[in-house]
Structure 1
Amino acid sequence: MNGGDDAAVTAGSGPPTSLEWRFSQVFGERTAGEEVQEVDIISAIEFDKSGDHLATGDRGGRVVLFERTDTKDHGGTRRDLERADYAIRHPEFRYKTEFQSHEPEFDYLKSLEIEEKINKIRWCQPTNGSLFLISTNDKTIKFWKVQEKKIKKVCDMNVDPSKAVGNGSLASSSKSSSPSQFVANGLYADGAHNDFSFPPGGIPSLRLPVVTSQETSLVARCRRVYAHAHDYHINSISNSSDGETFISADDLRINLWHLEISNQSFNIVDVKPANMEDLTEVITSAEFHPIHCNMLAYSSSKGSIRLIDLRQSALCDTHSKLFEEPEVPGSRSFFTEIIASISDIKFSRDGRYILSRDYMTLKLWDINMDSGPVATYQVHEHLRPKLCDLYENDSIFDKFECCLSGEGLRVATGSYSNLFRVFGVAPGSTEATTLEASKNPMRRQVQTPSRPSRSLSSITRVVRRGSESPGSDSNSNSLDFTTKLLHLAWHPTENSIACAAANSLYMYYA
């Protein structure tokens, strides 16, 4: 790991102490020897802005929502909880609801099978107690509304036991049940308007149902479908800070959408060459700036990040800034471009920094300094001698995600054997923690191998035999390339991480 003094996202009096991470919860843990179904493998994780809700998507096209409960169960505000013993009242989530977001499809015009797998989930601004989010598979984006609805039930009939007549009942209580006392204009003999039933006195055999709504149920409804705008696989969606628009990116194009308009989008980036044989790089990830709705960044398979300003032109063919690390002379090899491909980028919360993940490293970039990253964190350097084996078993094409803590003092990413690593980025910090996603960190779990979908982003790929080759980490521990922690998310305001190992969702806190 190396980094400079510029690596601090938040200035402080000194480097913060290393965090002690503890296991919090697990959802969907398997018993020993239990096989994992392909459709149950988690493929996306996302916290909402408040951190009170968490969404996961899986390869079966399902979206599962979790909600935080410790703030409710203890009857206090989050500030009260922070004052309390955090080790006792750690973040707790519970299952909220799930719904089928996408179904498998077949494009008959292109003879193309479209998987239902959820590639990305992004939360939108909640309104009137309802939750909104967008989810996407390879081709279609959907806008979902999740709200509580009262269940209406016919719970009773208007039966008054004291006035029951046979099998029926009096429809209403009146001064007298004798119709003979009724006079014109609804007046009784004594001139009082005491009977408002119709007909006067009621019908003894008439029973009217009483509808009540006591229970509530969560209902997910698809509000809009944004389809037919991408020729290639969608790898990213990102909400704008204006709360009204979002972008979607595939291998060659980035489109701008309005949440309320599903039948048209604007193509703002197009890197497709006139001749596809001239194609040298593809878009791998894209994200809006968290504060400025006119700025966004996207990464490429050549290891570069481009910052673009939507105010410059309608089609952003030119970038306002380019971030790439200069190549070391004499270091080029067959694997150079493959391992340089950026699989994920994330803005820091204040928008000042961009975190990128390629196969070997995490890099932190200052958007005001395009000469090179301000810090580089080695994740897979110990695998460099095994690149041939990793190429043969397709592991070299695995796309690991990355995330930053809310205050920007730490970064995290995943690795093999269900490991994830946390690094400190403050000046002088030597924090580098490795944990295994498991209730028992010493236990090794065997999982179904998950191969990445074949798309334009693997333009250097060739047909070859698949094989599995064991490796080892920097501590000489054996690595299992069939188990990989690709997806993780950091709580926006607290030191809490959610990470996915196959079909299991693990929660850690510090």
Structure 2
Amino acid sequence: MTLSSISTPHTTEWKFSQVFGEPAPGEDVQQTDIISAIEFEKGGDYVAVGDHGGRVVIFEKRTPKDDSLEYVTRNELEQNDFMIRHPPNYQYKTEFQSHEPEFDYLKSLEIEEKINKVRWCMSPNGSLFILSTNDRTVKLWKVKESKVKKVKEMDLDPFVASENSLLAEKSFSSIPETTPLSNGVEWADKTFNGAYSSVSHTKVPKFEDSPPARCRKAYAHAHDFNINSISNNSDGETFLSADDFRVNLWNLEISDQCFNIIDMKPPNMEDLTEVITSAEFHPFHCNLLAYSSSRGYIRLVDMRKSAICDQSSRILHDGASNGSKSFFTEIVASISDLKFASNGRHILSRDYMSLKLWDIHMENSPVATYKIHEHLRPKLSDLYNNDALFDKFACCLRGDGLQFATGSYSNQVHIFSHGGGVEDITFEASKNPNRHLSF
């Protein structure tokens, strides 16, 4: 499902725009068809969707031409805040099987094909490149712009020379019963019924569609625990992959070697206190990255200081959470997702109870805290017993960083504005735009 927004100087109105993969009435949703990852291309022209079946589906934006804007003056556009009268429409482009189920015989462990993350790569020549990962292996895919067909099999006339095979037609034949002409060309005897068809092309040329995407690299055998994050670097040459204990740095062109830059695994697992939950590169400083932990810490790392980045440059932590503690305090403080804002100065993080906006220059408290599940606080014990307290929620920011969104239970979407405007817009992700809730 996608939503379109119409902005004015005073408010932002959200309307239903489009839904992807809606099941037909009475159709059962298969487990393999459930979406597990989604990512917009930086320019917004493409959307990549990964599912539990190991597939990646790509949608392409098609914006209908609005003839009514042809004669609109610049002043009118500025007054309307460049309002788009027709929201963009995404149409199916292609899909491919990214991962298959595997079995680790050494550890007797079954590895699912489910796509955990998808990330678009920089494409200087206009080609589409995507990183996708399951629990153990990251793959780099090149998506082809169009289907190229190649000849798979053709049954040529054996009596015609190969260099003249393209000239072989019904009017030419090598049947013995022919009448020679003065120029040396022999015409087929038309009275020889059926003789021509018996030696001419008996098979229609077969064409084979080339695959919609090709795997360029597979980055495997570097993680002993499930991969929870991948992130492209702004240099366009490297990316990181992170699991519960380690963060590895890869070069896109080298698949058999990586550098372990962060290792939080203790020598004795009984001393384990926290794990890595998410990691992401800075949007334009290629030497900076941030990663979050299950204890609610966000650590900023500068790779120029040391090859092993276990010592953080800065640690962001909400000092207000050091007050009264309970059994559930550290569980709900675990950060499930973090995102850098486009300006590179702010970080958005999501834990179970709230959404927090951080300034990387303010280490002791977030700039703003937006409560999501505060009404569930009296029920934490019940949520713990049915494992719902360990559910993970993602977050995202608008391009200008002024609005951000996250999900909740019952198909609810929360949208917040920073620096004025409506504090919290909550609606159900459905086709009915009037199902609008506010808390």
Per the normalisation by structure 2, the TM-score is: 0.82
Deviation at 1:244, TM superposition (A): 0.7
Is the contact between residue 60 and residue 92 of structure 2 (CA under 8 Å) also seen in structure 1?
Answer: yes
Q: How many residues align?
A: 398
Q: Which residue of 2 aligns with 1:122?
A: 119
Deviation at 1:159, TM superposition (A): 6.3
Amino acid at match of 1:375: A
Deviation at 1:160, TM superposition (A): 7.0
Aligned to 1:178, which of 173, 179, 182?
A: 182
Deviation at 1:216, TM superposition (A): 8.3
Is the contact between residue 320 and residue 365 of structure 2 (CA under 8 Å) also seen in structure 1?
Answer: no
Q: Which residue of 2 aligns with 1:195?
A: none
Deviation at 1:89, TM superposition (A): 1.1
Is 1:89 the equivalent of 2:86? yes
The CA deviation string for residues 167-209 of structure 1, in whole angstroms up to 9 with x for no partner, is 99xxxxxxx9735xxxxxxxxxxxxxxxxxxxxx666579899
- Aligned counterparts of 1:110 and 1:72: Cα–Cα separation in 2: 56
Q: Which residue of 1 aligns with 2:421?
A: 429
Q: Which residue of 1 aligns with 2:103?
A: 106
Per the normalisation by structure 1, the TM-score is: 0.71
Q: Which residue of 1 aligns with 2:280?
A: 287
Paired residue secondary structure (1:24): strand
Q: Which residue of 2 aligns with 1:254?
A: 247
Paired residue secondary structure (1:422): strand
Distance 1:57 1:239, change over 3 A: same
Paired residue secondary structure (1:338): helix
Structure 1 residue runs of 5 or longer lacking an equivalent are 1-14, 169-175, 180-200, 445-472, 476-510
Aligned to 1:374, which of 352, 367, 378?
A: 367
Paired residue secondary structure (1:21): strand
Q: Which residue of 2 aligns with 1:460?
A: none
Paired residue secondary structure (1:391): helix
Is the contact between residue 146 and residue 218 of structure 1 (CA under 8 Å) also seen in structure 2?
Answer: no
Is the contact between residue 366 and residue 374 of structure 1 (CA under 8 Å) also seen in structure 2?
Answer: yes
Is 1:335 the equivalent of 2:328? yes
Distance 1:115 1:214, change over 3 A: closer
> Structure 1 vs Structure 2: percent identity of aligned residues?
61
Deviation at 1:88, TM superposition (A): 3.6
Deviates more, 1:141-150 or 1:356-365: 141-150
Deviation at 1:31, TM superposition (A): 4.2
Q: Which residue of 1 aligns with 2:148?
A: 150
Q: Which residue of 2 aligns with 1:440?
A: 432
- Aligned counterparts of 1:101 and 1:72: Cα–Cα separation in 2: 34
Is the contact between residue 63 and residue 98 of structure 1 (CA under 8 Å) also seen in structure 2?
Answer: yes
Structure with greater contact order relative to length (CA < 8 Å, sep ≥ 6): 1
Amino acid at match of 1:223: R
Is the contact between residue 97 and residue 218 of structure 1 (CA under 8 Å) also seen in structure 2?
Answer: no
Distance 1:431 1:212, change over 3 A: farther
The CA deviation string for residues 138-182 of structure 1, in whole angstroms up to 9 with x for no partner, is 00111101112421458x964678xx35799xxxxxxx9735xxx
Amino acid at match of 1:438: S
Distance 1:160 1:105, change over 3 A: closer
Deviation at 1:270, TM superposition (A): 0.5
Aligned to 1:67, which of 60, 76, 79?
A: 60
- Aligned counterparts of 1:362 and 1:423: Cα–Cα separation in 2: 9
Deviation at 1:37, TM superposition (A): 1.2
Is the contact between residue 173 and residue 186 of structure 2 (CA under 8 Å) also seen in structure 1?
Answer: no
- Aligned counterparts of 1:330 and 1:123: Cα–Cα separation in 2: 41
Deviation at 1:399, TM superposition (A): 0.8
Deviation at 1:108, TM superposition (A): 1.1
The CA deviation string for residues 423-470 of structure 1, in whole angstroms up to 9 with x for no partner, is 0012x33331112111125789xxxxxxxxxxxxxxxxxxxxxxxxxx
- Aligned counterparts of 1:263 and 1:216: Cα–Cα separation in 2: 31
The CA deviation string for residues 360-418 of structure 1, in whole angstroms up to 9 with x for no partner, is 11101111221210011111111111111211221111110000000111010000011
Q: Which residue of 2 aligns with 1:463?
A: none
Amino acid at match of 1:39: T
Deviation at 1:237, TM superposition (A): 0.2
Distance 1:177 1:307, change over 3 A: farther
Instruction: Give 1:344-359 correspondences, 5 Å limit.
Output: 344-359=337-352
When the two chains are superposed, the root-mean-square deviation of aligned CA atoms in Å is: 3.4
Deviation at 1:217, TM superposition (A): 6.5
Distance 1:203 1:105, change over 3 A: farther
Instruction: Give 1:183-222 correspondences, 5 Å limit.
Output: 219-222=212-215
